[in-house]
Amino acid sequence: MVACALLCGVRSVRGGVRWAHGQGASTLAALEVPDGDPGQSPMTTTLTRTLARVGADALDAAAGAFVQAHAADPLAGIVGDPPVLQLAADGKTVRGARDEAGLQLHLLGVYQVDPGVMLAQRAMRHKPHETLHFTAALDLIADITGAIVTADALHTAADHAHYLYRRGAFGFFPVKENRATLFVRLDALDWDETTNAQVTVVRTEENNSGRHEIRTVRVQPLADDQVNFPYATQALLVERYTTGRGDGKLHADAEIGVTTAPVEAADATTLAHCVRGQWAIEAQRFVRDVTFGEDACRTAPEACPARSLPSAAWRSASPTSLTLRMARSFVFIECLPGFRAGCVPSRSAGPGWCPRRSV
C-alpha cells in the first residue's frame, strides 16, 4: 500500500492513509487490505510504527531483488546480438535527513542503464567511505557476468578492477589526477588517428534543451603492462565541445579513461555509449529528488526505512513519461502478487509521503 501511494505522488504517512481511503474495494483487496474495506486499512500511527521497525538495509535488499527479477528482458538476444549490460555506480547525498550526530545519509547505488532501473544500493555514514562500499553494493546483484561497470574517478582503484575480474565483469573508469602516474602514461599516448592507425574515432553531434554538443571518443588498445592498472585493455580520450549554455561561449573539456573490457566485448561504439550512459544515473537521481521529493525529506535515516520501494521496476514497465505513468499507477499494481484484472487505483494522490530511498 505504501509503495503504491508513493508512486501516485504521496509524500507523507498520513497522505498514504488518505490515499488508501480513496481507492476502490478491488484495489485495496489487491493490496491485501482485508475484504477491500478502507476502514480496515492501517491507521497513521500503526503505519508509522511499522515502518520504523522495518530494517532499512533488509528492505533495500528485498527491493533490489524485486527489481532484478523484473528488469531482465526475456527477448534479449533473440533478434540480433544481446545488448551490452551497463551498470553505473554512483553515490548520492540525501540532503534533508540527518541522524542524531547531525550526519547526512549517503547512498551508493548501482543503476542498470537499460532499461533504467536501480538494482542495488547501500547506505554509508560518510561520503569518503564510498569506495569501501563499491564491492558490497555489487554483491547485492546476483550475476554481473559480462557487464561493463562504469563509475566516477573516485573508483579508479586496482582493488575494484580485481573484484570485477573475479566476477567476470569489466570496469570502465575515468582517470584524473588522483591516479597521477596512470594519468601521465595515458596522456602521453599518441591519440592522433592520422599518425596512430590503432586509434578508433567515434563522433556524435546532438542538440538537446538548447545546447549543441559535439562529442568525440578516441579508443586505442593497450599492450600488457603498458599502464600501471590491472587488466587494462583499452584507453579512451573523450572530448566535448558545447555551446548554448547561456553565456554565448564555446566550452571544451577532455577526459581520459581506461577499461578492462577487451575489444571483443566492447568496441569503440559501445564504449562511447557507456560514456554517455554513466550520466543516466544522474537523471534518475533528479527524478528521486524532484518528482518524489527525496531531498526534502527530513526524517532521520534510521526512522524512515521505506527508502527502497521499487519504483524503478514500475518505471520500466511503461515507455511513457514519468508524470503520465504516475497518473496510470495501475501499471505497477499489475506487478503485485494477488493482482486481479480491474484493480485500477484512482488518480487522487493527496499530500505526498516522504521516501527515504526510492529505488
Q: CB 245: neighbour CB atoms within 10 A? A: 12
Beta carbons within 8 Å of 208's beta carbon, 6+ residues apart: none
Q: What number is the average pLDDT over the span 196-215? A: 89
> What is the predicted pLDDT for the residue at 350?
36
Q: What number is the average pLDDT over the span 142-166? A: 93
Distance CA 270, CA 274 (A): 6
Cβ pair 222, 232 in contact under 8 A = yes
Higher pLDDT, 351 or 220: 220
Distance CA 86, CA 280 (A): 11
Highest mean predicted confidence (pLDDT) among 6-15, 205-214, 332-341: 205-214
Q: Residue holding cell 518524489?
A: 292
Q: What number is the average pLDDT over the span 200-215? A: 88
> What is the predicted pLDDT for the residue at 51?
77
For 13, list phi and psi in degrees, rounded to 5.
-65, -45
pLDDT at 167 over 90: yes
Q: What number is the average pLDDT over the span 145-149? A: 93
What mean pLDDT is reported for the chain? 77
> What is the predicted pLDDT for the residue at 175?
95
Distance CA 280, CA 291 (A): 16
**Per-residue pLDDT reduced to its tens digit, 250-265:** 889 999 999 999 999 9
Q: Which of 166-180, 244-258, 343-357 has the lowest mean pLDDT?
A: 343-357
Cβ pair 221, 233 in contact under 8 A = yes
Cβ pair 169, 274 in contact under 8 A = no
DSSP, residue by residue, 141-154: SS--TT-EEE--GG
Q: Find how far residue 283's CA is from the centre of its chain.
A: 9
Residue 172: band (very low, low, confident or very high) from pLDDT cuts 50, 70, 90 = very high
Calculate what percentage of the chain has a pLDDT beyond 90.
30
Torsion of CA 264, 198, 277, 105, to 10 degrees: 100
Q: Can you tell me whether residue 346 is helix, strand or coil? A: coil
> What is the predicted pLDDT for the residue at 191?
95
Q: Which of 99-113, 144-158, 207-221 has the lowest mean pLDDT?
A: 99-113
Cβ pair 93, 70 in contact under 8 A = no
> What is the predicted pLDDT for the residue at 318?
42
Cβ pair 241, 213 in contact under 8 A = yes
Distance CA 359, CA 352 (A): 17
pLDDT at 35 over 50: yes
> What angle, rounded to 10 degrees, do the helices at 13-21 and 44-53 form?
130
In what side-by-side order are the strands of the sheet with 117-124?
A: 117-124, 104-112, 86-98, 148-150, 170-175, 251-259, 234-243, 211-221, 200-208
Residue 118: band (very low, low, confident or very high) from pLDDT cuts 50, 70, 90 = confident
**Per-residue pLDDT reduced to its tens digit, 347-359:** 333 333 333 333 3
